[in-house]
Amino acid sequence: MFFIISKILYFAITPIVWLVAALTWAFFTKQAHKRKKIIGITLIILYICSNSCIVDECIRAYETPPTHIDSLTQVYDYGIVLGGFNTYDVQYDRLHFNKAGDRLWQTLLLYKQGKIKKILISGGEAKLFPEGYTESETTRDFLIQLGIPLQDIRIENTSKNTYENAQNTAHILSQETVSCILITSAIHMPRAYATFTKAGIQCYPYSTDCLSGNRKFAFDHCLLPDMQALENIRVLIREIIGYATYWVLCYL
């Protein structure tokens, strides 16, 4: 039930949904002055949420900064990479990576440079309507095709959210004394790291695919609306609400 509610909530918090709802309200409002006020406020909010400079600063304050790979002074037993970075095309037997795919590429780099001994992929079917495969299994098969030995890959394939990622991974590693690096997106790291720590997994946070990027003051970045900023603010709102929800539920 929590999984279903979270999916509905993530849809409801999308800024575009708010804006459409506000404009619909304005359309059906009979009072002209009230309609103008609603439209005016809506346009102001739209501009703020689509301003890359403002959105980047908000995200920068929340994200866990990345770590330079050369600063890792020890070899870790496991690199735990969290799912949510690809989909599987059944027709062509091919993985399609989204922008969070950097999670996997950074994991591969850590492995190839000898910073981690093994890769643990955590991720099941995080969809409302199951499609018959899990992300961890398809990713494992992909890594094997790249030449990663099967004995260096472990999977956790039943989790649907970050809390289950942590609990199920803790169960897998419960009989071992290991050192771990947690690998996930910078915007997701605050919630993921706190949840894994609460589950008893001592790990080093290794952030990937930062949304904020380097601070800049170009004209278009600071003043012109950008659709990508709308998507980024949606992700930020989702993570803040997710963190607050996990705190209330004592998941972290």
13-28 pLDDT, tens digit per residue, is 777 787 888 888 888 8
Rounded CA-CA distance 195/131 in Å is: 27
Beta bridge partners of 225: 51
Of residues 214 and 237, the one with the higher pLDDT is: 237
Output the pLDDT for position 80.
98
- Mention every residue, 6+ apart, whose C-beta is less than 8 A from residue 48: 54
Percent of the chain with pLDDT over 90: 63
> What's the domain range around 45?
2-63+225-248
Phi, psi (rounded to 5 degrees) for 166: -70, -45
pLDDT in tens, 116-154: 999 999 988 766 556 667 899 999 999 999 999 999 999
For residues 49 and 155, state if they share a domain. no
* Whether residue 97 is found in the same domain as residue 127: yes
As a whole number of angstroms, the distance between CA 118 and CA 152 comes to: 5
> Is residue 153, in this structure, part of any structural domain at all?
yes
Quote the strand ranges of 8-110, DSSP E: 76-82, 86-89, 94-97
The crossing angle, in degrees rounded to 10, of helices 227-248 and 189-198 is: 20
Number of domains in the chain: 2
**Reduced to 3 DSSP states, what percent helix, strand and coil does the chain have, rounded to the nearest 5?**
55, 15, 30
Per-residue pLDDT at 4 exceeds 70: no
Please, is 23 exposed, middle or buried when counting C-beta atoms within 10 Å of its C-beta (0-12, 13-18, 19+)?
middle
Same domain, 59 and 166: no
